[in-house]
Amino acid sequence: MKIGIYGQFYHENSGIYIQQLLETLDKNNVEVVIEKNFLELINLHDDIDKTYSHFSTFEELDGSYDLFFSIGGDGTILKTITYVRDLGIPIAGINTGRLGFLATIQKEEIKDSIDLILHNRFYVSPRSIVTIETVPQNDEFGVLNFAMNEIAVSRRNTTSMITVHTSLNGEFLNSYWADGLIVATPTGSTGYSLSCGGPVMMPDAESMVLTPIAPHNLNARPLVIPDNQEIELQISGREDTYLVSLDSRIHTLPNDTTIRIKKAPFKINMVILEDGSFIKTLRKKMLWGEDKRN
C-alpha cells in the first residue's frame, strides 16, 4: 500500500498524533511519501528515525497512490486537492484544526481510524468540482482553475457594491446588486454559502447554488440549479477590477473580463469511515436541529 501525506502547518500539540500516524503506517509496512515542506516541519519539531520519500508538485504524483492523508483542517484539504487533482486518489482528512467539517477523522482517534482504513472499512464519497474560464481567455488561473467548495466574485478596494450580471446556459437570469456572488458545490454549501444564507445540500446532490453576498435587491435569494448548467458572470462597478476566489485562492480580474463556471469532468474522492456519514457530521459538527426537546 502506498500513501501520500500533506499538511500546511504543524499545529501545537499535534506532534504526538503525527508520530502515531507514521508509527502505525510503518508497523503495517505502508509506503509513505510526504509533501516536502511538511516533512521539513515534522523533522524540525520531532525526532523521526526513518527517512521518508517526499514530493513537491502534482507532476510527481501518479495513480500508484492508494490513499492520501490531509493533516490539518478543512483548508488543508482544499490545498490537498491542488496536488491530487484528477488522479482520483481518495483523501482522508485528519482534523488537527478547529471545526473540521471535511476533515472528519479526529486526532484523538487516529489509531482506531487508521486500523479501519487499512482494513478497507471505509467508503468513498465522490465530490463535484467546478471549473472557471475567462473571456477573453487568459492564463490567470493556470492549471489550478478549479474549486471544491466554491467560486466567488466580490468587490475589491471599495465599499460600493458591484453588479453581477448572471446568465445560465446563455439565458439571462438576473443582475445581482451585491458585495458579490457565490457559486457553491454541494460540498461548499456548508461553507461560505451557508454563512450568507444559502441552503445545505447533500454531497451527492447533482446541483450547484448561487448565493448573493449581502444583496441590495431584497428579492434576490439563493438559487439551486442543476450542475449541468454553464454560468456566465459579467461584472460592473465603480472600480476597474474585481476579485475572484477559488476556495482560498484569490485572483484579480479587470471588469471587462467575463467568467464562465461549470462542473468539472472529474471529482474528488473523500474517505468516510464505515460508521460515518454526512448526516452524522451535520448533527455533530453543526449541531443540526439541536433542541433540548430532542
The residue out of 88, 120, 152 marking a domain boundary is 120
Q: What is the pLDDT of residues 234-284, one digit of tens each?
A: 999 989 999 999 998 999 999 999 999 999 999 999 999 988 888 988 888
Query: What distances in angstroms separate CA 98 from CA 27, 95, 106, 195, one per listed residue?
Result: 29, 7, 10, 17
- Residues with catalytic function: 74
203: pLDDT strictly greater than 80:
yes
Same domain, 157 and 114: no
Q: What is the pLDDT of residues 116-156, one digit of tens each?
A: 999 999 999 999 999 999 998 888 888 899 999 999 999 98
Whether residue 74 is annotated as binding a ligand: the answer is yes
**Average pLDDT rounded to a whole number, residues 8-34:** 84
Query: One-letter amino acid identity for 37?
Result: N
Q: What is the spatial distance between Cα 154 and Cα 90, in angstroms, rounded to a whole number?
A: 32
Q: Judge whether 280 lies within some domain.
A: no
| Of 168 and 38, the one with more pLDDT | 168
Assessment of whether the complete model's pTM goes beyond 0.85: yes
Exposed/middle/buried for residue 81 (C-beta within 10 Å: 0-12, 13-18, 19+): buried
Whether residue 193 is annotated as binding a ligand: the answer is yes
CATH number at residue 205: 2.60.200.30
| Of 99 and 181, the one with more pLDDT | 181
Same domain, 133 and 251: yes
Q: With bands split at pLDDT 50, 70 and 90, how would you rate the model's confidence at 192? A: very high
In the chain, the number of structural domains is 2
pLDDT at residue 51, as a whole number = 83
Same domain, 202 and 244: yes
Q: Judge whether 274 lies within some domain.
A: no
Share of the chain above pLDDT 90, in %: 62
pLDDT at residue 47, as a whole number = 62
Q: With bands split at pLDDT 50, 70 and 90, how would you rate the model's confidence at 43? A: confident
pLDDT at residue 111, as a whole number = 86
Whether residue 112 is annotated as binding a ligand: the answer is no
Share of the chain above pLDDT 70, in %: 97
Same domain, 90 and 144: no
Q: What is the pLDDT of residues 51-82, one digit of tens each?
A: 889 999 889 999 899 999 999 888 999 999 99
User: Which residue range(s) make up the domain with 82?
Assistant: 2-120
Q: Judge whether 217 lies within some domain.
A: yes
Whether residue 188 is annotated as binding a ligand: the answer is no
Whether residue 194 is annotated as binding a ligand: the answer is yes
Same domain, 116 and 140: no
Query: What distances in angstroms separate CA 211 from CA 30, 121, 183, 220, 252, one per listed residue?
Result: 43, 37, 7, 9, 20
CATH number at residue 58: 3.40.50.10330
Q: With bands split at pLDDT 50, 70 and 90, how would you rate the model's confidence at 46? A: low
Same domain, 177 and 85: no
Q: Judge whether 286 lies within some domain.
A: no
12: pLDDT strictly greater than 70:
no
Whether residue 149 is annotated as binding a ligand: the answer is yes
Angle, CA 168 vertex, CA 165 and CA 173 arms, to 5°: 50
Closest C-alpha among 17, 152, 93 to residue 285: 93
Whether residue 79 is annotated as binding a ligand: the answer is yes
Same domain, 101 and 143: no
